[in-house]
Amino acid sequence: MYGAILGDIIGSPYEFDKGDKTRDFPLFGKDSKFTDDTVMTVAVAEALMNAKGQSDGQIKAELIRSMRQWGGKYPGAGYGGSFREWLKSDDPKPYNSFGNGSAMRVSAAGWLYDTTEETRRAARLTAEVTHSHREGIKGAEATASAIFLARNDHTKEEIKEYIIKEFHYDLSRTCDEIRPAYKHDETCQKTVPEAITAFLEGESFEDVIRTAVSLGGDCDTLACIAGSIAEAFYGVPAALMTECRKRVTDDIKAVIDRFDAARGRAGGNAVIESAISEFKAGKNEKNFAAVLEAIRVRMHEKGQFFIPCRAPQAAVDMIDPGTVKVGDTVTAKEELHFKLETLHTNDGKTWLCAVTSENEMNKCRNEHPLSSICTDIYEFLKFCRTAKEDGVVINPWGEYFTLSKDAIKLIFDFDKPENKIYFEVGDITKLRVDAIVNAANRTLLGGGGVDGAIHRAAGPGLLEECRKLNGCGTGEAKITGGYRLSAKYVIHTVGPVYRAGDAKCRDQLRDCYFNSLELAKKHDIHTIAFPAISTGVYGYPKQEAAEIALKTVSGWLHGNPDYGMAVVMCCYDEEMKKIYQSAVDELSAGKDKK
């Protein structure tokens, strides 16, 4: 599906003849976004996977359900008028359309079946639920057939001959002949042949997309159709797959990954495998950087690696292969320690191993009696940075990639923010940061204000972990997981109850900020959000507390110039934000006097 979605995203800024009909344009910009083409491509793919092997009626019912569900999720994606009415209808019926919506959304049908007959049947069903005109059905079948032939190693000439013979499209014109007079047209008759021609003329995946967009008109759909065929013929460059994943939502990525898995690929890690393949084909800095970027993106998506390991003999002995079943629970009589598999190279270095997919893991099992554990890529690479080994080899029993500690550092450094303080009005529990700071009480068992809000948002798991910490002293800081929060961690610190003129009170408030930052650094946290500690029921004057907070945080950042820490001072209202700004002005004025 990457090809169709990328065509949509890349073509979207130039739709309605907004471009100047050239191949020379930036592939991505601020207006490059997915539209209805992507949403319906995903909806159809999900439906075909859900209903594979079922009757025509069942497949159609699932298509209608899925398309309406996804259309409801993304109501502003740019649907045509008739389709919008179909989405809202209490009794959705086909409306005899020959619009190109049937062809733009059909790509999954070209991949999921083993014969042209099955492929065309599925494509026909995806069209008939809305685009029941014979031209609408023909556009879907032609597109899916071209994808099927392309992925099964047919030449472009063979694909062209099949499309002409079966669907009677005019593919005699070149893109140079089409381009001058071509205008925006949303019919299958005036887009599918043009998109197929762009595919036939293009010399690479990217060139196909550029050629399709250069025709003008409904160019996001032209590029979507052409891109779907080009993916099957050329594959998609890893850098473009990575960029695609950055520009779609998590629910869309989930369907892409499921679709890849249905095709026998590595789910979300297919982007890493593709990048490694390109690096093996051409070992240059660009391809090396593409592998690192693919890994970085998968880290952000909470992707996982399989980690090969050797099970202790005690674990092997306690399992009876003849009786054990999936889901059975077996209790060990002793503590079990799994040993991570390592490789030794001729230069005397030792490497940990990581595997991108079950298929890659099976290559390992064919040679070695290894088990595996599944872990977050982020957590594993973070562990690798301090492990005694020299780095990690990804897919060591297949097309492998050696990731040294220096390369791992590059990945983490890319995400390292600038040392800076930000001010944001809002709910601290909803901020997307690595850690939020909880202005807790000494018991750490929850309370009022921000403390209670954080516990409610995080759920009962937070309280259970806090019970094990045995409280916290004033000015100290302790860390827990974030549980249901967006933040991965919660740093709990206990602010002082205000006592006018008490220097110890000021020192304790300073310690809250300083110790929280030190604890964050210890856990490799680079984005952190603070509430205005002690300014609620503990009574600390807001202006004075803000000055202490900013002076302490600024001092810490100055003392750690290369660490990379984005600090968000979360304000519960605009008044508090103004107080922080006033404190900034006071501190700046003080510096100017010096």
Give the integer Cα–Cα distance in Å for 577 and 572. Answer: 8
Work out the number of other CB atoms within 10 angstroms of the CB of residue 61.
15
Q: How confident is the model at residue 46 (pLDDT cuts 50, 70, 90)?
A: very high
R_g of the chain, CA atoms, integer Å: 29
Query: What pLDDT, on the 0 to 100 scale, is given for residue 264?
Result: 72
Query: In the predicted model, what is the mean pLDDT of the chain?
Result: 92
Phi-psi region of 386 (alpha: psi -120 to 50; beta: other; left: phi over 0): alpha
- 47 and 179 co-located in one domain: yes
Give the integer Cα–Cα distance in Å for 226 and 3. Answer: 8
33 domain residue, yes or no: yes
Give the integer Cα–Cα distance in Å for 192 and 215. Answer: 12
37's tokens: 């083409």
Is pLDDT above 90 for 358? no
> Among residues 290, 296, 229, which one has the least CA distance to residue 268?
296
Query: What pLDDT, on the 0 to 100 scale, is given for residue 508?
Result: 98
Instruction: Give CA separation, 161 vs 34, 57, 166, 577, in Å.
Output: 32, 32, 8, 67
- 278 and 397 co-located in one domain: yes
CATH number of 192's domain: 1.10.4080.10
The SS3 of residue 219 is: helix
Which of 388, 414, 440 is where one domain is finished? 414
Give the integer Cα–Cα distance in Å for 68 and 90. Answer: 11
- 192 and 97 co-located in one domain: yes
pLDDT, tens digit, 9 for 90 and up, residues 300-353: 888 999 999 886 655 545 555 555 454 555 565 656 566 899 999 999 999 999
- 85 and 206 co-located in one domain: yes
The SS3 of residue 285 is: helix
How many Cα atoms are found within 13 Å in the side-chain-facing hemisphere of 510? 13
Which of 379, 414, 449 is where one domain is finished? 414
Percent of the chain scoring above 90 in pLDDT: 83
**261-270, 321-330, 447-456, 518-527 — which is least confidently predicted?**
321-330
246 domain residue, yes or no: no
> Among residues 38, 46, 37, 82, which one has the least CA distance to residue 64?
46
- Helix axis angle for 81-88 and 56-73, nearest 10°, is 100
Give the integer Cα–Cα distance in Å for 532 and 390. Answer: 43
Specify the number of domains making up the chain.
3
Q: What is the mean pLDDT of residues 425-452?
A: 95
- 195 and 56 co-located in one domain: yes
Q: How confident is the model at residue 15 (pLDDT cuts 50, 70, 90)?
A: confident
Strand partners, 402: 393
> Among residues 509, 531, 527, which one has the least CA distance to residue 567?
527
Exposed, middle or buried, 493 (CB in 10 Å: 0-12/13-18/19+)?
buried
Exposed, middle or buried, 141 (CB in 10 Å: 0-12/13-18/19+)?
buried
- 32 and 155 co-located in one domain: yes
- 164 and 194 co-located in one domain: yes
Q: What is the mean pLDDT of residues 439-467?
A: 95
The values of phi and psi at residue 536, to 5°, are -90, -120
Q: What is the span of the domain harbouring residue 375?
A: 271-315+337-414
Strand partners, 420: 566
Give the integer Cα–Cα distance in Å for 188 and 445. Answer: 63
- 301 and 438 co-located in one domain: no
279 domain residue, yes or no: yes
- 488 and 542 co-located in one domain: yes
Percent of the chain scoring above 70 in pLDDT: 93
Tell me if the pTM is above 0.85: no
List all residues 6 or more positions away from 130 whose beta carbon is below 8 Å from its beta carbon: 67, 83, 86, 92, 94, 95, 97, 101, 102, 136
- 205 and 57 co-located in one domain: yes
300 domain residue, yes or no: yes
Q: How confident is the model at residue 591 (pLDDT cuts 50, 70, 90)?
A: low
183 DSSP 8-state letter: -
Beta-strand (E) ranges in 18-170?
none
- 66 and 177 co-located in one domain: yes
How many Cα atoms are found within 13 Å in the side-chain-facing hemisphere of 220? 26
241 domain residue, yes or no: no
- 136 and 106 co-located in one domain: yes
355 DSSP 8-state letter: B
pLDDT, tens digit, 9 for 90 and up, residues 486-516: 899 999 999 999 999 899 999 999 999 999 9
The SS3 of residue 35 is: coil
pLDDT, tens digit, 9 for 90 and up, residues 561-587: 999 999 999 999 999 999 999 999 887
Query: What pLDDT, on the 0 to 100 scale, is given for residue 268?
Result: 85
Exposed, middle or buried, 295 (CB in 10 Å: 0-12/13-18/19+)?
buried
The SS3 of residue 448 is: coil
Query: What pLDDT, on the 0 to 100 scale, is given for residue 267?
Result: 72
Work out the number of other CB atoms within 10 angstroms of the CB of residue 122.
27
Give the integer Cα–Cα distance in Å for 72 and 585. Answer: 48
240 domain residue, yes or no: no
Give the integer Cα–Cα distance in Å for 146 and 156. Answer: 9
The values of phi and psi at residue 587, to 5°, are -65, -40
Query: What pLDDT, on the 0 to 100 scale, is given for residue 556?
Result: 97
CATH number of 516's domain: 3.40.220.10
Query: What pLDDT, on the 0 to 100 scale, is given for residue 326?
Result: 46
pLDDT, tens digit, 9 for 90 and up, residues 227-247: 999 999 999 999 999 999 999
pLDDT, tens digit, 9 for 90 and up, residues 82-113: 999 999 999 999 999 999 999 999 999 999 99
Give the integer Cα–Cα distance in Å for 31 and 108. Answer: 26
Q: Which amino acid belongs to residue 57?
A: G
322 DSSP 8-state letter: T
Is pLDDT above 50 for 443? yes
pLDDT, tens digit, 9 for 90 and up, residues 16-27: 777 789 999 999
255 domain residue, yes or no: no
For residues 256-286, b (16+ Cβ closer than 10 Å) or e, as one string? Answer: bbbbbbbeebbbbbbbbbbbbebbeeeeeee
Q: How confident is the model at residue 593 (pLDDT cuts 50, 70, 90)?
A: very low
Which of 375, 392, 414 is where one domain is finished? 414
Is pLDDT above 90 for 458? yes
Query: What pLDDT, on the 0 to 100 scale, is given for residue 594?
Result: 45
pLDDT, tens digit, 9 for 90 and up, residues 384-427: 999 999 999 999 999 999 999 999 999 998 888 899 999 999 99
590's tokens: 């003080």
3-state DSSP of 257-269? HHHHHHCCCCHHH
Instruction: Give CA separation, 302 vs 3, 253, 269, 373, in Å.
Output: 23, 12, 11, 15
Quote the Cα angle for 61-64-69, to 5°: 125
Query: What pLDDT, on the 0 to 100 scale, is given for residue 128?
Result: 98
481 domain residue, yes or no: yes
Is there a contact between 34 and 247 (Cβ–Cβ < 8 Å)? yes
Exposed, middle or buried, 332 (CB in 10 Å: 0-12/13-18/19+)?
exposed
198's tokens: 């762009």
